A and B are shown apart, each in its own frame.
Chain A
Amino acid sequence: MTVSLGYALLGAAILALSIYPLVLARDLLRRIVAANAFGTGIFLILVALGFRGEGATPDPTTHGLVLTGIIVAVSATGLALALVARMHAAGARLEDV
């Protein structure tokens, strides 16, 4: 199904695009945003996999995996942001990481 393949490739593009800022950005907040975008790219591939065409029941396993992934991602993001704030409060600079 070309629709699925198309969206899967879109997911691949999103995750490839986020690699550069994820690795090289100086601002930690931007790296965290890039990590979230990377995750979204993976989720897009998963949901595209589960799509079976208009009107047909999609594979609910993929949806379950993505839901779990979204919750895990927000937990990690929350912890990362709290750590960044604490690091800043303790006097370290963001670019030192």
Chain B
Amino acid sequence: MSDTVSALLAGVDWAAVAILTPLAGGAAAFVLPDRARAIGVAASVTTAAAAVALVWLIATAGPYDLAVGGWSAPLGIRIAADGLSAVLIGMTNLVGASVAVHAALTGRQTKPVAEAGVAAWGFWPLWLLLLAGLNALYLSADVFNLYVTLEIVGLSAVGLAALSGKAEAFKAAIRYLLVGIIASLVYLLGVTLLFAQYGVLDLAGLRAVLVPAPATQFAMVAMLAALAMKSALFPLHGWLPPAHGNATSPVSALLSALVVKASLYIAVRLWLDLYQPAGLGDDAIATVLGVLGACAVLWGGLQALIAKRLKLVVAYSTVAQIGYLFMCFPLWADGREALAAFVYLAVAHAFAKSALFLACEQVQRTLGDDQVSSLSKPELPGAVKVTFALAAVSLVGLPPSGGFIGKWLLLESTLSHGLTVWTVIVLCGTLLSAAAMARVLARFFAPEGQAAAHPQVVGDAASWRFSLTPLLLAVAAVGIGLLGAWPVELVGIVGTAQ
């Protein structure tokens, strides 16, 4: 039995399946909008299964590598995946499929935004194409191909962000799009200079020939700056809170948990596999990124504490969490050990943040709005409060959650590098997010108006649809810590300079 399973695992090109399936699903959902939801769920789940198969294959048989079309680099394009890509692909597909299932479950219950004429069916083709873009991005080993995948991710994210039909959503979407266009062009400028100097677009090929030179240094600065802009690093984070705060909840979940990590991953990949080994990894650049990350942690934390709307609290928390991820850059000056911290933080955040945003939908539905001041009403079902509590546990970093392990590894690394200021900032950031979460949770668990005065306060029959997925995601975030050392081992699988 296990022979057939391993034969199946090894015989199918799971990476191709993970890219082609959502592309086909997206096209099908566009052509057949009446069946869009069924196509969407089927494609999301199938792609997730293919992604899990791919991750399993990498964990057991080593990194994945393919020359598309049979043309080896530098003529053709390579797709490849090592441990780091594997973990992020797994995260993207598992969280993504969960959000898709949630959107399918809750689709009929949400009021269609008829006033603006905006189509709700559009979620499915845009989501599936976004998923295809994300998978293609994590698998890409060619700097120009990365540009095309960045465009796919960026444009579909903008399309999704505009779906809620509100005027603020359109404004936020156009700002998001403008920032995205500028960032993509600056990235492309970097690609141009690399090709100018080396005549190669393949990552492994570039790594073999990269030398410190003016054109290469310009390319590095341009590409990292562009990716920082796309990842909402302080002070270029202004586009994120309105975009994530005004979108529909499943879209906010996808944007905060998944989209924002994609450009960050490219920055990490370029830094670790390309620029740093070639000797361009100047401490200055890493320090700048780390300092900006620290500012993001503090600034995001403060804004989350004073935000008036629940979704803005959650969106600013994303800004802060991205800050932690950027603070990892100086820790890689002498090796990749601290990569585990980055991975734990990123993955735990994906699960926790998606849980939070999805739970916001139930809040909005029950209470009519998401003002923090009105969260004390007693009508909220218990499942939502528990979801928030669990997700907060992971975001703040309490054991045994994934967030705790990530922060622990981060602190360990900052201490061993002697960066005490960093340690202090991480601790301050933790306090700030704890305070922000406590502010929300306090209102949840201390309702005004006695429960006795409203004895029939239960969710309506359909409310389980809204509460199930977020709860599961939050449990997953906390449960990551129970996976043991397996993720760290997985990350340790290094590819042939992807």
Residues of A within 8 A of B (CB): 15, 22, 28, 31, 35, 38-39, 42, 45-46, 49, 61-62, 65, 68-69, 72, 75-76, 79-80, 83-84, 86-87, 90-92, 96-97
Contact = CB atoms under 8 A, between A and B. Distances in A.
B171 interface: yes
B151 A76 contact: yes
A72 B151 contact: yes
B148 A72 contact: yes
B378 to A, nearest CB: 35
Contacts of B184: 76
Contact of B192 (A22, A46, A79, A96): A46
B275 interface: no
- The dominant DSSP class at the B interface is helix
27 contacts: A15-B189, A35-B178, A39-B188, A46-B192, A61-B201, A62-B195, A65-B144, A65-B195, A68-B144, A69-B188, A75-B155, A76-B155, A76-B177, A80-B174, A80-B177, A80-B178, A83-B173, A83-B174, A84-B174, A86-B162, A90-B167, A90-B170, A92-B168, A92-B170, A92-B171, A97-B174, A97-B175
Q: What is the interface of chain A mostly: helix, strand, loop, or mixed?
A: helix
B178 A31 contact: yes
Contact of B185 (A42, A61, A75, A83): A42
B155 A42 contact: no
Interface in B171-191: 171, 173-175, 177-178, 181-182, 184-185, 188-189
A90 B116 contact: yes
Nearest to B239: A97
Contacts of A35: 178, 181-182, 185
Given A22-B182, A83-B162, A42 B189 contact: yes
B196 interface: yes
Contacts of A83: 158, 162, 170, 173-174, 177
A48 B173 CA distance: 35
Contact of A42 (B167, B170, B178, B188): B188
A84 B188 CA distance: 25
Contacts of A65: 144, 195
Contacts of B144: 65, 68
Contact of B174 (A28, A75, A91): A28
Contacts of B201: 61
Interface string B186-223: 00110010011000010000000000000000000000
A61 B142 CA distance: 13
A90 B170 CA distance: 8
A91 B165 CA distance: 12
5 cross-chain pairs, A with B, having the tightest CB-CB distances, nearest first: A90-B167, A87-B170, A83-B174, A92-B167, A97-B175
A79 B159 contact: yes
Contacts of B173: 83
Contacts of A22: 182
B192 A76 contact: no
B427 to A, nearest CB: 37
Nearest to A72: B151
Contacts of B148: 68, 72
Contacts of B182: 22, 35, 38
A90 B167 CA distance: 6
B181 A49 contact: no
B185 A96 contact: no
Interface string B221-257: 0000000000000000000000000000000000000
A39 B151 CA distance: 14
Contacts of B181: 35, 76, 80
A45 B196 contact: yes
Interface string B11-30: 00000000000000000000
